[in-house]
Amino acid sequence: DKTGTLTHNELMVQTVVTARDSYAVTGSGYAPVGEFHLNDEPVLANRHSDLVTAARAAVLCNDAELVDMDGHWHLQGNPTDGALMAVGMKAGLDVQLEQALRPRTDLIPFESVHKFMATLNHDHEGHGLIYVKGAPERILEMCIFQRSNESEDALDRDYWLGQIEMMASGAQRVLAIASRATDPDHLHLRFDDVEHDLTLIAMFGLIDPPRSEAIQAVNQCLASGTLVKMITGDHATTARAIGSQFGLGHDHQVLSGSDLDKMSDGDFSIAARDADVFARTSPAHKLRLVEVLQAQGHIVAMTGDGVNDAPALKRADIGIAMGRKGTDAAREAAEMVLTDDNFSSIMHAVEEGRTVYDNLRKSILFLLPVSGGQALTILAAVMLAQEYPLT
């Protein structure tokens, strides 16, 4: 699993795209310190209404909390939510005030099956507003409008698809946020409420930088004959860009979960063998990949840190969970836990294991001839004693 194993699992919003503009965001990690740049010039967020609206949506449709502990900002919650919370604070929003002015009434939590999270918020005047955030292609299916300078225009799908491709090709994970006004007496959120008639507010490009030591470790694995396959929930273009940094993805081949769903068992087996990068995958895809590779005779080690990795971790010959940022479910399902969450530790373990194996082989090869010679001598003595008994 890519996130948290091959990468740092410390997301940061690098780009905010609205219907009219694309803003670059500076900063580092989850610290809410940074600037917004438009056309390479710094701008004040409060002078751009679309940017403020996007930042407010990012703060309200959110379950994370950023805590300042002695000058260091710590995340409590999901890394994606943490990055969105940070960009909202960079835009100058008071998170507690925003949440108090527009308290949450109901929630549809994120699930990998439907690929979005939704919240229902009401202000003190009774106005209701639904916020939905999730995979951009999924959110686009729900939208018919886009927000532009306090107004709603018809959705320009081609424009947004181009922005997704541009951000994803730069190894950015893309997330979309949309909204819809609702009645004051609307108190319970259902799936029917978010499946249509939404207004797209913005898209966010997030980066999760790869671990430099992981890049070297992957190259060592490949050189030593260990196959490495990267599995991620990211967009296919993002997965391709990140995979190329690790030397994965021969001929730029990336298979998505929807591609896998269309395959027969035979084609799936070939794809599992030949492809290195899998994008937009579900827990079921991860589990099936492990099972198919095992059926081909491979010894499979699966790494992961989330609840959705647990089935594949349990099924693999060697389940390896992340110890620092991994969930309890992942650690309980795995057979090994990496205390440093570092992929290079796996490679070091392989090296040590091969050294032990090599030493065992040498010992056996030494002992067999010696022990065999002694056994033959004793056998010959017994046979001679039977042929020529002492009188």
Catalytic residues: 1
CB under 8 Å to 112, separation ≥6 — which residues?
A: 233, 282, 283, 308
3-state secondary structure of 154: strand
Tokens of 258: 């929807």
Cα separation values, 214 from 28, 106, 347, Å: 20, 41, 9
Rounded Cα gap, residues 164 and 177, in angstroms: 13
Tokens of 339: 């205390």
CB under 8 Å to 113, separation ≥6 — which residues?
A: 282
Between strands 230-231 and 277-279, the pairing is: parallel
- CA dihedral sign, ordered 329, 332, 335, 341: positive
Rounded Cα gap, residues 13 and 32, in angstroms: 11
DSSP assignment of 151-220: EEEE--HHHHHHHHHHHHHTT-EEEEEEEEEE-TT--S--GGGTSSSEEEEEEEEEE-PBPHHHHHHHHH
Residues facing 25 on adjacent strands: 36
Cα separation values, 22 from 16, 32, 138, 369, Å: 6, 20, 21, 74
